[in-house]
């Protein structure tokens, strides 16, 4: 049970900090095409992702694809992690956010390619 909550916490933390998922595409687009700051791009991406995620969740929920026990436990950690991540977003300077984001992408790429 705690492992699932921890996974949710980590994913929520990353999501809160970096707007993972659709945010990986939205953030650079906001920065490069709309001259948004790092913080504004991340916050706007989170805002825009919410309706997309709700639609997807409804689709999967009505299709009986969701493992509800695992999902609920991960959500508990995810909510806490999102809160922490979004608070750090407000505190950290843009250059540190960019560095953390780049390191996260490199780590993710290595993990996907080699593991």
C-alpha span between 104 and 91 (Å, rounded): 19
Q: pLDDT of 30-76, one tens digit each?
A: 888 888 888 888 888 888 888 777 777 888 889 888 899 999 999 99
User: Residue 50 in contact with residue 26, Cβ under 8 Å?
Assistant: no
User: Residue 78 in contact with residue 15, Cβ under 8 Å?
Assistant: yes
- How does DSSP assign 61-103, residue by residue? HHTT---HHHHHHHHHHHHHHHHHHHHHHHHS-HHHHHHHHHH
User: Residue 42 in contact with residue 27, Cβ under 8 Å?
Assistant: yes
Model pTM score: 0.63
């Amino acid at each position: 049970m705690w492992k699932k909550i921890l996974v949710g916490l980590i994913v929520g933390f990353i999501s809160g900090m970096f707007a993972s998922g659709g945010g990986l595409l939205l953030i650079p687009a906001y920065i490069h095409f709309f001259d948004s700051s790092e913080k504004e791009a991340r916050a706007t991406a989170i805002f825009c992702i919410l309706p997309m995620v709700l639609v997807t969740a409804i689709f999967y929920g009505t299709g009986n694809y969701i493992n509800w026990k695992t999902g609920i436990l991960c959500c508990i950690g995810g909510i806490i992690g999102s809160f922490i991540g979004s608070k750090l977003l407000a505190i950290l300077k843009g250059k540190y956010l960019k560095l953390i984001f780049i390191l996260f992408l490199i780590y993710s790429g290595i993990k996907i390619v080699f593991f």
